[in-house]
Amino acid sequence: MSFFSDLFAKKEKSVLGVDIGSSSLKVVQLRKERGQAILETYGELALGPYGGSEVGQATNLSAEQITETLKDLLREAKVTTTSCGVSIPFARSLLTLVKLPYRKDPQEQKTVIELEARKYIPVPVNEVQLDWFIVPQAEPAQFADAESAAPTRETVEVLLVAVHNDELALLQSVAAGAGLAASFYEIEIFSTIRAVVEDPVKPVMVIDVGAASTKTYVVEHGVVAISHAISVGSQDITRAISVSGNVSIPQAEALKKKEGLGTDGALGSPELVFSRIFSEVRRVLMQYETGHKKSVSSIIFTGGGGVTKELGAYAKKTFSIDVRVADPFKKTEAPAFMRPVLEEIGPEFAVAVGLALRKLEEV
């Protein structure tokens, strides 16, 4: 019987996305079935208590402490696979879009890019893992004759990506220590794009409100056209609620998710923090639209701060374009009764979902 049950068993392959953030660890386990991404389990553990601070606060733990936390999370979430992809924090990477001389020969172009990249990386090239992507040109216009259809191209836009070897070594150590087999490590921005951006062509701004900082970037044709880090994050929102309401940090964290910006000024302090974030966001928005002579079509909120209650409604009063809060679990199949909860927690899990979706492509 065991022979036949094994022989005819469905070959279902589960994969895991592991998001190692500054304030918490998140995992999402998916499997592929009839071409669909099926949600099997997910979980989150705050890092604060493991480092002597509060839930929701950014930490700076050792690889050993992160490993122990991850092992606890894998056990609590009842994760059943070791096959995974792991996130790289945006703050620990370099991401820049540059214009470089164009070369027709691919090998020559590769040499030019690798030589020029040294000018943009603040540390010796042998201390980082360097990757790059040539941004495709816009579709050429229809020209009257063949000769004018091939204008001379002098420059090429290249997205340069560099990650310090020490950061990769730490992440590899954590994954191996937790008994996981990671086939790739991906900068969190790209995981988020995969999970939350539905229209890859139109320019879309993503505002990722992390614990210690907020990342804002514009995505066009699936490429990061401009990015900027703001030194204010969701932990500042929590602290502001704590101070103004005279409550503990854990109570303030709960209030942020339960009441947030929907209390008619009762928790006015979150608005002060978001006004600082929105001020920087407007500047980046203007910089992109002026430099590229294009309008951003929509804004998507994600990250831990994205779970602030009524954030979407509040942001719509500030920005004149379409605004929504990310729902990455929409790209997965899950029981209907879970949808309200998944929609509520979704912004925090965008990176983990994006990693798992990429890992599913390997199955």
Q: Which CATH number fits domain 93-162: 3.40.109.10, 3.90.1150.10, 3.30.1490.300, 3.20.20.70?
A: 3.30.1490.300
Position 223 scores a pLDDT of: 84
Q: Which CATH superfamily is domain 2-92+165-360 in?
A: ATPase, nucleotide binding domain (3.30.420.40)
Look-up: residue for tokens 């992109």? 288
- In terms of phi and psi (left: phi > 0; alpha: psi -120 to 50; beta: otherwise), the region of 72 is alpha
Four-residue CA torsion sign, 207, 259, 262, 196: positive
Position 144 scores a pLDDT of: 42
Per-domain boundaries in the chain? 2-92+165-360, 93-162
Q: Provide the 3-class DSSP secondary structure of residue 304.
A: helix
Task: Identify the helix (H) or strand (E) that includes residue 179.
Answer: none
User: CB under 8 Å to 306, separation ≥6 — which residues?
Assistant: 208, 209, 325, 326, 346, 347, 348, 350
Task: Identify the helix (H) or strand (E) that includes residue 274.
Answer: helix 269-292
Q: Could you count the other beta carbons within 10 Å of the beta carbon of residue 203?
A: 20
Beta strands 83-88; 181-187: pairing state: parallel
- 229 within 8 A of 243, measured Cβ to Cβ: no
Beta bridge partners of 16: 29, 84
Q: Provide the 3-class DSSP secondary structure of residue 252.
A: helix
Q: Edge-to-edge strand order for the sheet containing 24-33?
A: 36-46, 24-33, 14-20, 83-88, 181-187
- Residue 153's identity, in one-letter code, is R
Position 263 scores a pLDDT of: 57
Assigned token pair, 225: 């056209």
Position 347 scores a pLDDT of: 93
pTM: 0.88
Position 7 scores a pLDDT of: 47
Position 222 scores a pLDDT of: 78
Closest CA to 288 of 300, 276, 297: 297
Position 271 scores a pLDDT of: 81
Position 268 scores a pLDDT of: 53
Task: Show pLDDT as tens, one digit a residue, over the chain (363 residues).
Answer: 444 444 444 555 899 999 999 889 999 999 999 889 999 999 999 998 888 888 878 888 999 999 999 999 999 999 999 999 999 998 889 888 888 999 989 999 999 998 988 888 888 888 999 998 888 776 544 434 444 444 457 888 888 999 999 999 999 999 999 999 999 999 999 999 999 998 767 899 999 998 889 999 999 887 888 899 999 988 888 888 888 888 888 888 888 888 777 655 445 567 888 889 999 999 999 999 999 899 999 999 999 888 888 888 888 888 989 999 999 999 999 999 999 999 999 999 999 999 999 999 998
- 301 within 8 A of 209, measured Cβ to Cβ: yes
Q: Edge-to-edge strand order for the sheet containing 322-325?
A: 223-230, 214-220, 204-209, 298-302, 322-325
Position 267 scores a pLDDT of: 52
Position 135 scores a pLDDT of: 82
Assigned token pair, 218: 């514009």
Closest CA to 237 of 263, 215, 260: 260
Angle, helices 269-292 vs 311-318, to 10°: value is: 50
Q: Provide the 3-class DSSP secondary structure of residue 184.
A: strand
Gyration radius of the chain over CA positions:
22
